[in-house]
Amino acid sequence: MSNRSYSFTHAITRKPGKSAVDGLRAVDTGTPDLDTFLSHHADYIAALKATGAVVTELEALEDFPDSVFVEDTALCLQEGAVVLRPGAPTRLKEAEAMAPTLRELYDEVLTIEGPGHIEGGDILTTETEILVGTSARTDDAGIKELAGLVAQWGYKVRKLNTPEGVLHFKTDCSLLDENTILSTRRLADAGCFEGYNVILVADGEEACANTIRFNEKVIMPAGFPKTEQAVREAGYDVVTVGNSEAAKLDGGMSCLSLRFSPIKK
Ligand code: CIR
């Protein structure tokens, strides 16, 4: 069975900078501690590498407090990458800063030119389709432009709604395998995962719905024992990584990397 949606040879990460303390957040739950953030970030990279991935580790960009959350800057597929257009004004130019790295790794790099906006946190690539949630950061025009670009590589884009008050579509869901999605109840109840198996995160553990499947591992944030157990019991090989500091900035496991296997000509 093909599994291009979670088998990856490469990842890109970016170190959190000192300016991360000024990162965007919906609710202030305290200032992230940079040393702890750096230590969690190193654990995260080690978890990616342990699956066999080559990780491009970029230096911090102090001008962009949220630039550790590289996922929002690009959509990485096998055939090429698309530089996105973040809807948060303070993050718009982060995408441009990622483009040279993508050009080193891919033959083809396309760009969302606007006027629409789209962030990677709103995009869930499954084996058969690309699901994109509209949100405060991602609008219809951004989704339409993305759909037009990726059609040339044979991808279908399906537009959905991110639940009200939720930052990104993938704040509430993750891909576990070809047919299985980990989701919060509120997102699954919206009916967007028909045809997929859904594993629900435990009530009260919604903050771990943002998890990643990376090769043979499911990388989950630490501290969500009921959901971790459910995912293990479903047969997945789980590794947990501390996420307390990224969580203060509404960030989780997917936000911290771009994951892909570029096809080089
Ligand atoms: C932001 O608000 O943009 C960052 N503080 C968090 C971004 C999280 N990214 C993601 O879910 N893909």
Query: Half-sphere exposure (CA, 13 Å, Cβ side) for 186?
Result: 16
Q: Which residues contact 156 (CB under 8 A, 6 or more apart)?
A: 128, 129, 130
Residue 122 covered by a domain: yes
Alpha carbons 37 and 47: distance in angstroms, whole number: 15
Average pLDDT over residues 62-89: 98
Residue 65 covered by a domain: yes
Contact (CB, 8 A) for 31 and 22: no
Strand partners, 5: none
Active site residue 40: no
Owning domain of residue 125 = 10-260
Q: Which of the 8 DSSP states describes residue 163?
A: P
Predicted confidence (pLDDT) at residue 20 exceeds the cutoff of 90: yes
**pLDDT tier for residue 1 given thresholds of 50, 70 and 90:** very low
The mean pLDDT value of the chain amounts to 97
Predicted confidence (pLDDT) at residue 26 exceeds the cutoff of 90: yes
Q: Residues of the chain with pLDDT > 70: what percent?
A: 99
Task: Give residue ranges with CB within 6 A of ligand 1.
Answer: 23-25, 66, 69, 71-72, 88, 91, 120-121, 167-168, 171, 249-251, 254-255
Residue 256 covered by a domain: yes
Indicate which atom in ligand 1 lies nearest the CA of residue 137.
3
Number of domains in the chain: 1
Cα angle value 183/189/193 (rounded, 5°) = 60
Question: What pLDDT is stored for residue 227 in this prediction?
Answer: 98
The tens digit of pLDDT for each residue in 80-102 reads: 999 999 999 999 999 999 999 99
Average pLDDT over residues 205-210: 98
Q: Among 168, 173, 192, 208, which one carries the catalytic annotation? A: 168
**pLDDT tier for residue 43 given thresholds of 50, 70 and 90:** very high
Predicted confidence (pLDDT) at residue 264 exceeds the cutoff of 90: no
How many angstroms does the Cα of residue 17 sit away from the middle of ligand 1?
15
Contact (CB, 8 A) for 32 and 245: yes
Residue type, 205: E
Indicate which atom in ligand 1 lies nearest the CA of residue 251.
8
> For position 174, which CATH number holds?
3.75.10.10
Residue 119 covered by a domain: yes
**pLDDT tier for residue 265 given thresholds of 50, 70 and 90:** low
Question: What pLDDT is stored for residue 2 in this prediction?
Answer: 61
Residue 81 covered by a domain: yes
Q: Tell me the C-alpha to C-alpha distance, in Å, between residue 77 and each of 46, 107, 237.
A: 23, 12, 24
Active site residue 168: yes
Residue 19 covered by a domain: yes
Residue 3 covered by a domain: no
Question: What pLDDT is stored for residue 33 in this prediction?
Answer: 98
- Cα R_g (the chain), whole angstroms: 17
Contact (CB, 8 A) for 62 and 94: no
Burial of 145-156, coded b for 16+ CB within 10 Å and e otherwise, reads bbbebbeeeebe
Terminal Cα-to-Cα distance of the chain (whole angstroms): 24
The answer to whether the predicted template modeling score (pTM) of the entire model surpasses 0.95 is: yes
Q: Which of 26-30, 153-157, 206-210 has the lowest mean pLDDT?
A: 26-30
Contact (CB, 8 A) for 200 and 184: yes
Average pLDDT over residues 39-60: 98
Residue 4 covered by a domain: no
The tens digit of pLDDT for each residue in 128-168 reads: 999 999 999 999 999 999 999 999 999 999 999 999 999 99
Residue to substitute in 245, 249, 256, 259 for testing ligand 1 pocket (most ligand atoms within 8 angstroms of CB): 249
Predicted confidence (pLDDT) at residue 117 exceeds the cutoff of 70: yes
Average pLDDT over residues 192-206: 97
